[in-house]
Chains A and B, each alone.
Chain A
Amino acid sequence: MKMDLVSTLKVLLDGTIVTVELTVISFVIAFSIAIVVSLAQIYGNIPLKIIATVYERILRSIPLLVVMFILFFGLPSFGIRFNPFMAAILSLGLCSSAYQSQIFRGAILSVPKGQTLAAQSIGMNGTQIFVHVTLPQALRFAVAPLTNEFTIVLKDTSFAYALGVTELLREGTYIVSTTYEPLLIYLLCAAIYFTVTFSTNTVVRRIEKRFALPGFEFRGERA
Chain B
Amino acid sequence: MKVLQIKNLKKRYGEKEIIKGISFEMEKGETVVVIGPSGTGKSTMLMCINRLTEPDGGEIYLNENQITGSKHPEIFRQKIGMVFQEFNLFNHLTVLNNVMIGPMRVKKFSREKAESIAKENLKKVGLELQMHAYPAQLSGGQKQRVGIARALAMEPDLILFDEPTSALDPELVGEVLEVIKKLAREGMTMLIVTHEIGFAKDVADRIIFMENGEIIEEGVPSLILNNPSQERTRQFLAKFMEGR
Show the binding face of A for B, using Cβ within 8 Å: 112, 114-115, 117-125, 128, 132-133, 136-137, 140, 213-216
Contacts and interface: CB of A to CB of B under 8 A. Distances in A.
Identify the interface centre among A123, A137, A213: most chain B CB within 10 Å of its CB.
Answer: A123
B105 A128 contact: yes
29 contacts: A114-B87, A115-B90, A118-B82, A118-B84, A118-B150, A119-B90, A120-B50, A120-B74, A121-B52, A121-B77, A121-B81, A121-B84, A122-B81, A122-B101, A122-B106, A123-B74, A123-B75, A123-B106, A124-B74, A124-B105, A128-B106, A133-B90, A133-B92, A213-B91, A213-B134, A213-B136, A214-B134, A215-B136, A216-B91
A84 B50 CA distance: 57
B78 interface: yes
Contact of A122 (B86, B136, B154): B154
Contacts of B101: 122, 132
Nearest 5 interchain pairs by C-beta: A215-B136, A123-B78, A114-B88, A118-B88, A121-B82
Interface in B110-142: 133-137
Residue from B52, B84, B89, B105 with most neighbouring chain A CB atoms (10 Å): B105
Interface string B66-103: 00000000110110111010111111100000000110
B84 A123 contact: no
Contacts of B150: 118, 122
Nearest to B74: A123
Interface of B: 50, 52, 74-75, 77-78, 80-82, 84, 86-92, 101-102, 105-106, 133-137, 150-151, 154
A117 B90 contact: no
Contacts of B151: 121-122
B65 to A, nearest CB: 15
Contacts of B86: 114
Contacts of A215: 134-137
Contact of A124 (B80, B82, B106): B106
A80 to B, nearest CB: 44
A149 B164 CA distance: 42
Contacts of B74: 120, 123-125
Nearest to A133: B90
Contacts of B80: 121
B89 A137 contact: no
Contacts of A137: 91-92
Contacts of A118: 82, 84, 88-90, 150
A72 B73 CA distance: 53
